[in-house]
Structures are given as C-alpha cells and as structure tokens.
Amino acid sequence: MGSFSIWHWVIVLVVVMLIFGTKKIGNMGSDLGKAVKGFKDGVKGDEEKAAEANAAAPVQPTQQVADKSTIDVEARDKTRL
C-alpha cells in the first residue's frame, strides 16, 4: 500500500472521463478559469478604486499657528500601491 504509480493515475483518469465525459470536464475547467480571472479582476479593481479615492481627495491647506514654536503637520494615510 505505497504511493500510487503512473498506471493507477491513468486508470483513475479513464474512469473519471467515462463517468463525467470530456465535455463536462472541459466546461468545469473553463468555469474555474473564469472564476479565477473574475477574482483577480475584482481584487485589482478594489486597489484601483482605493488609489482613485486617495488621488481625488481634496488637499486642505495647513493652518498657520500664531505660536512659532508649535509645528503643525498634516497626517496622511499610508496605502499600499
């Protein structure tokens, strides 16, 4: 009861093709490819939307402080591009 040899995998492949047929297996493969592509496009789209939102945000001018010993700094969110 060791690992499977190449002949075991060939027999399993033939049985699967007899049960499901090559057309259904091809359709499952193309559906899986479309799902992966859709996921990648969705992730890419979210990153682009975040970049557009950061670029479209209006920049507010810094306020001057009467006391010159105080430094006023505008904080920005750090985003990964």
Residuewise pLDDT in 10s, the chain (81 residues)? 567 789 998 999 889 888 888 788 888 888 999 999 988 888 887 777 777 766 665 555 555 555 667 666 777 777 765
Task: List the domain range (segments joined by +) for residue 39.
Answer: 21-57
Q: Are 63 and 71 in contact (CB under 8 A)?
A: no
In this structure, how many other beta carbons lie within 10 angstroms of the beta carbon of residue 30? 10
Is residue 33 included in any domain, yes or no?
A: yes
Q: Residue 56 carries which side chain, given as an amino acid letter?
A: A
**What pTM value is reported for the model?**
0.40
Q: Are 25 and 53 in contact (CB under 8 A)?
A: no
**Residues 6 or more apart in contact with residue 17 via CB below 8 angstroms:** 25
Is residue 72 included in any domain, yes or no?
A: no
The total domain count for the chain is 1
